[in-house]
Amino acid sequence: MKTSPSQSRFQKTNLITIALLFILILAGAVVRSSGSGMGCPDWPKCFGRYVPPTSVSELPKDYKQKYVAGRVAKNQQFAKTLDVFGFGDLARRIREDKSILLPEEFNAAKTWTEYINRVLGEITGLGLLFAAIFSFSYRRENKLIPFLCVVNLLLVGFQAWLGSIVVSTNLVPGIVTIHMLLALAIVAIAIGTYHMAKVYGKHKLHTSAITHVVTLLALIISVTQIVFGTEVREKIDAVSAHLQGGYREQWIADAGIIFVQHRDIAILVVLANIVLFALVRNGFTRHSVQQQVMSFVFLMIALQVVTGILLSYWSLPPFAQAAHILLASLIFGAQFYLMLNLYSSTRKQEVRR
């Protein structure tokens, strides 16, 4: 089926937005690893300005008290919401957390790091908005495409709000994991709608059931690995706070069993993808999308192992933390795209006929 100009525009916009989503994940990881989340204590402006300050002399004398008061009010409102939904224990922890009363010292580098992250978020949001608008060119052929694009637009708005809560509550455990999983869901929906638009009207040939099962299993293991990774980071944050940011070489050792579990699941990730690679290599031609995606996955896993080693033996360097999160997201995205493409490509056996 011939693709109309408006449908082609949707595909291009959606593809660009997918790239922007991964860039935004990297930016968020940089913010997290550098501790820049409160670099801009207010929203949508930064210290009440559209362009952030570069010096503390540009701020009013009472800026610390003003923004601490705003942070406390925001957390109290969030705690009330948690009470409504039955999360009383978490709400109580937020209310009793005295660390939010400590004012943040102005740091120009952290302010601009967070500001750039926000700008990237706004650009990505615009990309999702235009993708949602252009997606209605498929409303007759596949109503699921515009529906999912609109859902994704709403999700990214919720994700932005949740990100502000993550920072405001001092990275409260559980919320950080939800924030990461929601980011993966947004990426998955964007990839899914792009794939649906790309293959619409083309011949589909299902592959073997075992390949689908192994692909799904590899994807589940990867998501589990990411969840354990966020929990490792939450534990290390607690250790860092206890040690007042010092003795970095002890942080991983003090993280406990959760780090060991995270490392062990990494072994499962490698093994599952080795099996998947063998199945893809046997079932698809050398230059097929499936083999290309699988090769990309292996490259990302190799780099992920390298960053994991750097984190373990070099006392968690911030650049390795950011790269580790980005690579995990890329692996997830590639595996998800591979799973979708198993339903829509010609197998090696078909090509030989």
* Domains by residue range for the chain, with CATH: 1-202 (no CATH), 204-353 (1.20.120)
Residue that wins the pLDDT comparison between 195 and 348? 195
> Bridge partners of 49?
46
Q: Is residue 344 pLDDT above 60, yes or no?
A: no
| pLDDT over threshold 60, residue 251 | yes
Q: Considering just the CA atoms, what is the radius of gyration of the chain in Å? A: 22
| pLDDT at position 205 over 70 | no
User: What are the tens digits of pLDDT across the range 46-100?
Assistant: 888 899 999 988 988 888 888 888 888 888 898 998 899 888 888 888 888 887 7
Q: How many C-beta neighbours within 10 Å does residue 340 have?
A: 19
274 vs 247, more confident: 274
Confidence of residue 352 (pLDDT cuts 50, 70, 90): very low
pLDDT digits (tens, 9 = 90+) for 26-51: 999 999 888 888 888 887 788 888 99
Q: Give dist(CA 49, CA 161) in Å, integer.
A: 19
- CA-wise closest residue to 329 among 351, 307, 345, 344: 307
Q: Check residue 171 and give its pLDDT.
A: 63
Of 18, 14, 66, give the one whose Cα is nearest residue 45. Answer: 66
Q: What is the pLDDT of residue 42?
A: 82
The pLDDT tens digits of the residues spanning 206-224 come to 567 888 899 999 999 999 9
The mean of the pLDDT values for the chain is 87
Write a three-state SS string for 259-275.
Answer: HHHHHHHHHHHHHHHHH
- Rounded to two decimals, the pTM is 0.88
Assigned token pair, 225: 């690995």
**Helix/strand/coil for 46:** strand
**Does pLDDT of 10 surpass 90?**
yes
Token pair listed for 122 = 């706004």
Residue 292 buriedness (CB in 10 A; 0-12 / 13-18 / 19+): middle
Residue type, 13: T
Which tens digit of pLDDT belongs to each residue from 288-323?
889 999 999 999 999 999 999 998 888 888 899 999
> What confidence score (pLDDT) does residue 202 get?
61
Is pLDDT at 185 greater than 80 in this prediction? yes
